[in-house]
Structure 1
Amino acid sequence: MRYQTFGRHSGLRVSEYVLGTANFGSAPTAAGLAGAKEIFRSFVAAGGTTFDVSNIYQDGEAETVLGELLGRERDDYVVITKYSGTRAAQVRPGTTGNSRKTMIRSLEESLRRLGTDYVDVFMPHFPDGVTPLPELLAAFDDLIRAGKIRYAGLSNFPAWRVAGAAVRSELSGRNPLIGIQTEYSLAERSAERELLPMAEAHGLGVVLYSPLAGGLLTGKYRRGEQGRLSARPDAEGDERRTAVLDAVLAVAEETGTGPVQVALAWLRERAARAGTSMTPIVGPRTPAHLATYLDALTVELAPHHHEKLDAASAIRLGAPYEDVSAALAHGIDGDRTLLDGPFVPVV
């Protein structure tokens, strides 16, 4: 497995895959304690060093299980954990959200469950629509100075808020944000409109969740298998997602590999072309699932396969991007094309 620094504002090295631990628990739908242990060991044996968890995964049990598995080697690994929500039956205003109070309380509880005195990257899981950015950034800075977190990031925040936070932290002299977390896959490319260009511009690392679109890109729903999207009337959702899955299955047949490997190989190629680090979270429920994900690390698709997948999964960028592209294509200064030759500075 290869490694890269998480964004351009840190020297924190993360593995090519981040292991998602949402299934680390004893619930019937989870991996089970023995399964989680085997998944962890296989991931580490393959060179994996980076783990993603949250205070709400398996009602906190995922952090407990991960902490036990990290054990005395905890410093060898990178742990990303998140806060904001709760699984409590009765939700009280003081126990959720992004405020300094909730942040510190949640972190203390996460540290206790993880059996450690620090986490490497700490993020609010979702924006609460209430907490001001200066409060978030000041609290992050305090926790970094206290040694309880090493770095801070934002998960599921809109691009305009992340950009504002990045600039504010830079201008204030505080420790910079180093990354974000967002959904991204062949079936869900909305992040290309704002989030990914923003992350590249500000040097933020990107952790990508649901790289298989909740199991859609594995083709399992067409086989009648159950999964996260089974409750929907139509797991594929719309014609575009159906076309994407058709393309994935076609490329898998042409290359003699599986749809999982195709979807992850496409994502690895996109990440390689990005101007900042892009790291997918793989969240296996069984050791067999993890083995399939690891197989994808050796799959290289041909250019025409990438073109086929790109075409099937393409999204409309909308305004102003399409307007700007059209203007550049046809010249934006009368009959002259401004981008058809070398740049000559005006003096």
Structure 2
Amino acid sequence: MDYRQLGGSGLKVPVLTLGTGTFGGNNELFRAFGTSDVAEATRIVDVALEAGLTMFDSADIYSNGNSESILGEAIKGRRDQVLISTKATFRFGEGPNDVGSSRHHLLRAVEGSLKRLGTDYIDLFELHGFDALTPVEETLRTLDDLVRAGKIRYIGASNFSGWHLMKSLAHSDKHGLSRYVAHQAYYSLVGRSYEWELMPLALDQKVGAMVWSPLGWARLTGKFRRGQPLPKDTRLQSQLAIDVGPPVEEEYLYKVVDVIDEVAAETGKTVPQIAINWLLQRPSVSSVIIGARTEEQLRQNLGAIGWNLTKEQVAKLDAASATTKAYPYFHQAGFGERNPSPV
């Protein structure tokens, strides 16, 4: 397992992180991801650690906290061997303050996560989304207090736009507060808009990307083919999962999959392995978060490392997955002499 610096911090993280959205499955959305109980989750953690995958990502809303609880049981007795990242901001309760990035909600969220995980500190704590109703001053001071208290070691954001992230970084710099070192963002071969603004920002400000849904919300598993019905075991059998995930046009998906199939034939690798390996060669990426319903799926995804696509294969995949950028990015691309592409 290779390790990389997490943004501009001194923390090294494995290039693959295990997402634990498949642990629990005790509500409609997360049943579509997986339903691993403590025994199965413990076996998956065992396999991950054997491979040097030492980082595990969760969130309070994953299965209403059950994902964190199961992860806590699965790592019991070996907390010092692992890195834990978890997230909060989305609604977790019915009260008016059970949502957002206010001091009130974040303090309660962190205490709840610590209890469920069975630990006294979180290695990386990320805001799950931007809260436009809470001043960034309040949010960042709260996070800094939690770092100083030793309950959090590093902080990050997730699903921020460029100005959300830059405003927060500027405030931290101005007031000497803890700085976001990670941005958990959607990025895949069928979802490349991360490259337009967030990637240049990440490179300039030294914010490491923690990539979620590297297989395009399960579309790059190798099971999606033109003219064939949806696989029975995909999360996309759930309309709720479709509604909350990133959209991808069918013809665009099949165009990209056709080229991945060509590269798969050249390399002897699987579609998911190629999709993940491509991401690991992109600028600003610190770690790619992989999911696994089973031990077999985890072992398959672990096969994405230890080799690299050739420059020619990367170029072929780039060309197949390229899309027209939104304004002002397509305009800036026409002035490449002074606005070079980060990739």
TM-score, normalising length: structure 1: 0.87
Partner of 1:255: 267
Q: 1:277 to 1:211 in 2, by over 3 A?
A: closer
Deviation at 1:319, TM superposition (A): 3.3
Q: Residue in 1 aligned with 2:172?
A: 169
- Once the two structures are superposed, residues 162-208 of structure 1 have per-residue CA deviations (whole angstroms, 9 ceiling, x without a partner) of 01111110111112221111100001111111111111111111100
Letter in 1 for 2:15: E
Residue 253 of structure 1: CA displacement?
2.2
Deviation at 1:328, TM superposition (A): 4.8
For the pair 1:94 / 2:136, whether they are aligned, the reply is: no
Residue-by-residue CA offset, 1:86-139 (whole Å, 9 max, x unaligned): 465xx2211111111000001101100011111011112112321111111110
Structure 1 residue identity aligned to 2:49: V
Partner of 2:3: 3
Q: Highest CA radius of gyration, 1 or 2?
A: 1
Q: Distance in 2 between matches of 1:194 and 1:281?
A: 21
By how many angstroms is 1:72 displaced? 2.7
Give 3-state SS (helix, strand or coil) of 1:297's partner: coil
Task: Say which SS state the counterpart of residue 296 (structure 1) adopts.
Answer: coil
Q: Show structure 2 runs of 5+ residues with no match.
A: none
CA distance in 2, matches of 1:312, 1:300: 19
Asked if the contact 1:122/1:151 (under 8 Å) is kept, the reply is yes
Q: Which runs of 5+ in 1 are unaligned?
A: 333-338, 340-347
1:189-338 → structure 2 map (5 Å cutoff)? 189-222=192-225, 224-226=230-232, 227-231=234-238, 237-270=249-282, 274=283, 276-328=284-336
For 1:133, the equivalent position in structure 2 comes to 136
- How many corresponding residue pairs? 324
1:121 aligns with 2:146: no
Of residues 60, 66, 78 in structure 1, which corresponds to 2:65? 60
In the TM superposition, residue 77 of structure 1 has moved relative to its aligned partner by 1.7
Cα deviations by residue, 1:35-94 (Å, 9 ceiling, x for unpaired): 211110000000011110000112111111111222232123211110122465xx2211
The alpha-carbon deviation at position 153 of structure 1 amounts to 1.1
How large is the RMSD of aligned CA atoms in angstroms?
2.2
Judged with a 3 Å threshold, the aligned counterparts in structure 2 of structure 1 residues 87 and 165 are, in CA distance, closer, same or farther, namely: closer
**AA matched with 1:312:** A
CA deviations 1:247-283 (Å, max 9, x no partner) are 112221232221111111111122xxx2x44311001
Match of 2:88 in 1: 83
- The whole-number CA distance in structure 2 between the counterparts of 1:191 and 1:287 is 30
Q: Distance in 2 between matches of 1:4 and 1:38?
A: 26
| Structure-2-length-normalised TM-score | 0.88
Q: Give the structure 1 partner of residue 23 of structure 2.
A: 24
* TM-aligned CA deviation for residue 290 of structure 1: 0.4
Residues 302-337 of structure 1 show CA distances to partners (whole Å, capped at 9, x for unaligned) of 2221111100111223433433443456xx9xxxxx
